[in-house]
A and B are shown apart, each in its own frame.
Chain A
Amino acid sequence: MIDGFIALYIFMLAAFTGYEIISRVPVILHTPLMSGSNFVHGIVLVGAMVALFQAQNTLEQVIGFVGVILAAGNAVGGYVVTERMLEMFKSSKKPQPGGTH
Chain B
Amino acid sequence: MDIFTPKLWVQTAYILAAFLFIMGLKRMSSPASARGGILWAGVGMVIATLATFLIPLTAMDATTLHTNLTLVVVAITLGSALAWWSGKRVAMTDMPQMIALYNGMGGGAAAAIAAVELYGAHERSLASSVLAVLGALIGAVSFSGSAIAFGKLQGLISKSFRFQGQQVLNLIILVSAVAVGVGIATLGLGTNVVTLFFALALILGVSMTVPIGGADMPVVISLYNALTGLAVAFEGFVLQNPAMIIAGMVVGSAGTLLTQLMAKAMNRSLANVLFAGFGESAQSSNTEVTGSQKPIEASDAGVMMAFAQKVIVVPGYGLAVAQAQHKVWEMAQLLQNRGVTVKFAIHPVAGRMPGHMNVLLAEAGVPYDLIADLEEINAEFETSDVALIIGANDVVNPVARTDKGSPIYGMPILNADQAHNVIVIKRGQGQGFSGIENALFYLDNTRMLYGDAQSAVNQLIQSIKSME
Which residues between 352 and 382 of chain B lie within 8 Å of chain A, taking CB atoms? Answer: 353-356, 358-359, 362-363, 365, 367-369, 371, 373
Collect the chain A residues with CB atoms within 8 Å of residue B265's CB: 27, 30
Structural contact, B253 and A34, CB atoms closer than 8 A? no
* Bound complex: CA A55 to CA B262 (Å): 41
Q: Give the contacting residue for B31; candidates A17, A29, A42, A49; CB below 8 A.
A: A29
Does residue B240 face the partner (Cβ distance < 8 Å to A)? yes
B258 touches A25 (CB 8 A): yes
State the main secondary structure of chain A at its contact with B.
helix
A16 pairs with B61, CB closer than 8 A: no
Q: Which of A37, A88, A99 contacts B229 (CB 8 A)?
A: A37
User: B353: which A residues are within 8 A, CB to CB?
Assistant: 30-31, 34
Q: How far in angstroms is the closest Cβ of chain B from A96?
A: 6
Which residue of chain B is the closest to A31 with respect to CB atoms?
B355
B192 close to A (CB within 8 Å): no
Expressed in whole angstroms, the Cα–Cα distance for A83 and B87 within the complex equals: 10
Q: Provide 27 A-B residue pairs closer than 8 Å at the C-beta atoms, listed in order of the A residue.
A: A2-B245, A18-B251, A19-B254, A29-B30, A31-B353, A31-B354, A31-B355, A32-B34, A34-B258, A36-B25, A36-B38, A39-B45, A45-B45, A47-B244, A48-B109, A54-B116, A60-B119, A67-B116, A69-B82, A70-B79, A78-B99, A79-B87, A83-B42, A86-B28, A90-B35, A96-B33, A96-B35
Given contacts A34-B225, A91-B367, 19 further A-B contacts (CB under 8 A): A18-B249, A18-B250, A25-B261, A29-B34, A30-B262, A30-B354, A36-B37, A44-B106, A48-B112, A53-B69, A60-B120, A68-B109, A69-B78, A69-B82, A70-B105, A74-B106, A75-B45, A89-B31, A96-B32
Top 10 closest pairs, chain A to chain B, by CB: A98-B33, A67-B112, A72-B79, A80-B87, A77-B83, A14-B249, A18-B253, A74-B106, A71-B109, A68-B75
